[in-house]
Structure 1
């Protein structure tokens, strides 16, 4: 997972230890895609502690040679289908305003699942000490309380 994140050249890359730990502690809310026993994509996520009916997707990444094949969408559908039995009814993620590929991915997810998608400002650049771009909150599914 770390190598895919690193090679993506767009994701914030966490330490390799973070990905190994994530795979251990959040395997129920994350997923990997395999091609002949080789990890070619992943979605990392967790259930919001204060909103157990909401999956927050931290990162989505697909190996360069697998892009354009629908891998990311199938992983998102897979993890949401698995978590539906546990009461998860919505997904949240953050996307920087210039990341059109991620915006399209989550818009397509909402369309496939027949649910609304909404966007709101969440973090502005001044919230980050390291020149990080803004991050908008995307909610796929009905917003909490409505």
Structure 2
């Protein structure tokens, strides 16, 4: 009986250890600095807006994506920037990191001011908060964007 209990405990530990090591997600974090992690081309996976009037939540919507020709954002190592979401034209300009989590990209037609929420080797999420969006006068608009590789 004692051998049966010992064998059962060992078998349970072996199964648990196997599941923990083989079923776990691949770690996509790294010790690289944000400037290096963000570099390269990312597909724009989702753009979501949240709208507030007088501090009261009003609407949450995911913007439909049209691949014209494709939705992407690109950060080059010489501070060049490209952005294209549901548009036949690409916005090109430059970008700069400010502080620990702010990314500002400037193009002739738009200034993108993003706060970094998540940055790994495979996922990059940002948010922009605006109170002067012409499509929603008088509203606070939070625009969340998810970039993936």
When you count strand as a share of all residues, which structure comes out higher? 2
Higher relative contact order (CA 8 A, sep 6+): 2
When you count helix as a share of all residues, which structure comes out higher? 1
Normalization by structure 2: what TM-score? 0.29
